[in-house]
Structure 1
Amino acid sequence: MPIRNIPRYHARFGETRADILSAQVLRHRCFRGGEGLDADSFDDICRHVLIEDAITGKLVASFRLLPFPDGKSISDSYSAQFYELSALYDYNSPMIEMGRFCIDPEAQGGADILRVAWGAMTRYVDQEKIGLLFGCSSFHGTDEARYLDTFALLRDRHIAPKRWRPRVKAPNVFRFAQRLRRAPDTKRAMLGLPPLLRTYLMMGGWVSDHAVVDHDLDTLHVFTGVEIASVPPARARLLRAVATPA
């Protein structure tokens, strides 16, 4: 079932085992390099969104979605392996976890691909009346020194509200909100923002006060949440324009 078509790319839900395998191959190439499958037990319980080149049919991006009726079951999420999320147990609206987002580094038109992905997500969020979108936003590599200005910016502007704030669970974390004393260089900070996290923040998203060091995927990541009711109206209109079926 098509989710949204624009001139070059379209998004659809994966319907077959071959669809899932193609996403796992792309994920391995993006996250680990080379040929192989990036797969885990969550793949069997998630819905997978595939973004394809409308001309060639080639898979250029993918992500997966895991829905929850409310916060009571958030401990079953992928993110809960790394973050203590009991503050969200009382969240009483439907939630969706977005994970394993990746774009083929050889694909052209990354900005268009990202727009199609967010259009697909927006349509799903509206259809399912989602209250909170969440997930892990990753930085390449595990050296926090590369991103000190970015983490200082997150500390100053984007830390989660106290009532929802994740606590430390992973054994190896960078507590940037506590440890950093520097003022951010805004230009360097923005350059260090991963595109997915940048989009979350433009929608009013917030992050954990610490980053998890993930040596398996060679990343640093922060828990990220977007409360749908808090998305700026102008941004919501743009996303819904992309999400509207052609």
Structure 2
Amino acid sequence: MIGTSKGMVLAGMPVSGLLLQKGGYRARIASGADDVLAAQRLRARCFRTDPLDQDKFDAACLHVLIETVTCGRVVGCFRLMLLQNGGQLEESYSFQFYDLSHLSTFPGHLMELGRFCIDPDCKDAGVLRLAWGAVTALVDQSGTELLFGCSSFAGTSPDAYLEAFALLHRRHLAPEPWRPGAKAKSVRLLEDLLRNRRAGQKPDLKQAQAQLPPLLRSYLAMGGWVSDHVVIDADLNTCHVFTGLGVSTIPAVRKRLLRGVAEPR
């Protein structure tokens, strides 16, 4: 299913069908309302928004399902919106929460990844690898130059993730020319969250890595960056940071690994 948003980049993009199949799982683009419903049900389980997690952006996005080959059980999903350039960022989900005026002049294609979910009962790391392989294939097909989205932490108390936020603040803040500004009603600056730490105190790397959501760990491993503040989203019972990743800045070794996963076998 494909949305009708004028921001969608359609040229050369598949609107349905298999993207990738490996290790007992397959990634495919949703082909109809039933597929989107399956994704919304999984999202509801992950975000605890029963019976369905749905919003107005679903109709403007491509939806990707990760499912088992044997029985077709959906174990992961994400949605994506493709934009021609930064001037169309106001159509994105993230625009609701962040001041993206600094990115409005970005000249290349952008891809917003959202509602990235893995079934909490599925502990196979291969699902996340396959999902990133599918993202890689879609990035290459669309000519995307910047990936972005909201990386969510469970719950609405950012104080539970201080080591993670200390790491983000120390090493992974967005470049100043692209840095998102605060816009949402409920935000916490990373600097304020860390105000009571000792001067020069380094983050506990082991704790920080354990506190980071898997999706955000993947972004950071590829050179991703985040906003300087956290948005508290009571509706989804999460707190999140804006996350960006310039495709051209991904290390060459990491690109080879991703494209290795994305290659059909």
- Short-chain TM bin: over 0.9
Distance, in Å, in 2 between the alignment partners of 1:179 and 1:62 is: 32
Contact kept? 2:165, 2:190, Cα under 8 Å: yes
Contact kept? 2:102, 2:179, Cα under 8 Å: yes
Distance, in Å, in 2 between the alignment partners of 1:177 and 1:194 is: 20
116, 128, 136: which one aligns with 1:114: 128
Identity rate, percent: 52
168, 184, 198: which one aligns with 2:182: 168
Distance, in Å, in 1 between the alignment partners of 2:59 and 2:158 is: 33
Aligned with 2:235: secondary structure? coil
Provide the aligned C-alpha RMSD in A. Answer: 1.0
5 Å-filtered alignment, 1:16-27, equals 16-27=32-43
Distance, in Å, in 1 between the alignment partners of 2:168 and 2:122 is: 29
5 Å-filtered alignment, 1:1-246, equals 1-32=17-48, 35-109=50-124, 111-181=125-195, 182=197, 183=201, 184-246=203-265
- Structure 1 position 107, deviation (Å): 1.9
Distance, in Å, in 2 between the alignment partners of 1:64 and 1:238 is: 23
Distance, in Å, in 2 between the alignment partners of 1:177 and 1:23 is: 36
Distance, in Å, in 2 between the alignment partners of 1:187 and 1:31 is: 26
Supply the AA of the counterpart residue of 1:143.
S
Distance, in Å, in 2 between the alignment partners of 1:53 and 1:174 is: 39
Number of residue pairs matched by the alignment: 244
Supply the AA of the counterpart residue of 1:118.
W
- Structure 1 position 188, deviation (Å): 1.1
Supply the AA of the counterpart residue of 1:66.
M
Distance, in Å, in 2 between the alignment partners of 1:104 and 1:168 is: 31
- Structure 1 position 179, deviation (Å): 4.5
Distance, in Å, in 2 between the alignment partners of 1:30 and 1:127 is: 29
Unaligned residue ranges in structure 2 (runs of 5+): 1-16
Aligned with 1:224: secondary structure? strand
Q: TM-score, normalised by structure 1?
A: 0.97
Runs of 4+ in 1 over 6 A off after TM superposition: none
Contact kept? 2:26, 2:68, Cα under 8 Å: yes
Aligned with 1:91: secondary structure? coil
- Structure 1 position 7, deviation (Å): 2.2
Q: TM-score, normalised by structure 2?
A: 0.90
